[in-house]
């Protein structure tokens, strides 16, 4: 299934395998989502990770809109990622990234904030799209990708000011990190993919505060 392949791609990029299979935690039932999520958000969101911590155990469920999954299956982004399926690809990858990151951190007893999850998802989307597009079509999509992911970003209208600000911050920090990746590893005649992966893997293990400080210091 596509989601399992996306999870495997993220595990390879970040050298961070987890035991949990995202497909075992997938739900496409919006009625179930409404029981746990704010009604205004549940009505429209195409993706949401539900997390509940109780007695030291973590319950998770990843909701993805069934229409989105159907479109992705038809457009096969792992074979051909292009401008037409990029948005759906990024939405699904964001959910898988959240799931994977929570599972990775939980297995190590690390905490992760919403900011950390959002920032990591933005970076995962960029890295996955760069690597896929690079292997599929000689990197044609890479030009302008940073702008598509980070500059033409939209936020839900129902977010309160503080939450919206946090999403803006996650986007801003991730944009800065990815711009630096692009400058250091991709803007040359020959892209240094292995060096970029090394940087991504180091970054993945820094923890929220370490990631923010690393970006601020760069």
Partner 1 sequence: MSDGTVLQVSSLEEFFRDALHGAAAKQRLALDHHTEHYVVNVLTSFSRADAFFEQTPSGPRLKPLALMLAEAVGARTSGERQHALQRLGDVSLFVAGFFAHGFARKLVDVDYHIAMGGRAYGSLADSARTAPRGRSIAGVFTELALKFRELVDALNEVADCARAPCHDDLLRLYELWIKTGSQRAAGRLRELGLEPAASARVRWSH
Q: Name the residues that contact partner 1, by CB under 8 A.
A: 113-116, 161-163, 165-166, 168-170, 172-173, 176, 208-209, 212-213, 215-216, 218
Number of continuous H segments (helices) and E segments (strands) in the chain: 10, 3
Tokens of 69: 């999954």
CA 204/CA 49 separation, integer angstroms: 19
Task: For CA atoms 199, 202, 208, 210, give the dihedral sign.
Answer: negative
Q: Which is nearer to partner 1, 80 or 164 (CB)?
A: 164
Q: Which is nearer to partner 1, 114 or 153 (CB)?
A: 114
Residue-wise burial string across 173-201, b where 16 or more C-beta atoms lie within 10 A, e elsewhere: bbbebbeebbeebbeeeebeeeebbebbe
Residues forming a β-bridge with 58: 53
Q: Which is nearer to partner 1, 4 or 176 (CB)?
A: 176
Nearest approach in angstroms of CB 216 to partner 1 is 5
Among the listed residues 141, 48, 44, the one whose alpha carbon sits nearest the alpha carbon of residue 86: 141
Q: Which is nearer to partner 1, 100 or 211 (CB)?
A: 211
Nearest approach in angstroms of CB 207 to partner 1 is 10
Sheet order of strands, 26-27 included: 26-27, 57-64, 47-54
Nearest approach in angstroms of CB 74 to partner 1 is 36
Nearest approach in angstroms of CB 206 to partner 1 is 12
Nearest approach in angstroms of CB 114 to partner 1 is 6
Q: Which is nearer to partner 1, 51 or 193 (CB)?
A: 51
């Amino acid at each position: 299934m596509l989601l399992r392949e996306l999870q495997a791609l993220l595990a390879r990029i970040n050298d961070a395998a987890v035991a949990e299979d995202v497909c075992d935690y997938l739900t496409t039932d919006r009625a179930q989502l409404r029981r746990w999520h704010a009604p205004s958000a549940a009505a429209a969101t195409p993706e949401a990770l539900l997390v509940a911590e109780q007695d030291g155990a973590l319950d998770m469920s990843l909701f993805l809109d069934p229409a989105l999954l159907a479109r992705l299956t038809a457009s096969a982004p792992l074979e051909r990622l292009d401008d037409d399926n990029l948005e759906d690809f990024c939405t699904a990858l964001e959910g898988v990234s959240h799931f994977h990151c929570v599972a990775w951190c939980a297995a190590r007893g690390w905490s992760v904030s919403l900011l950390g999850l959002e920032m990591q998802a933005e970076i995962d989307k960029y890295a996955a799209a760069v690597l896929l597009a690079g292997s599929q079509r000689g990197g044609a999509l890479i030009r302008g990708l940073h702008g598509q992911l980070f500059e033409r970003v939209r936020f839900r209208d129902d977010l309160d000011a503080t939450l919206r600000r946090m999403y803006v911050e996650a986007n801003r920090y991730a944009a800065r990190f990815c711009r630096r990746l692009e400058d250091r590893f991709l803007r040359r005649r020959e892209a240094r993919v292995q060096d970029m992966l090394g940087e991504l893997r180091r970054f993945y293990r820094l923890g929220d505060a370490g990631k923010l400080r690393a970006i601020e210091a760069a």
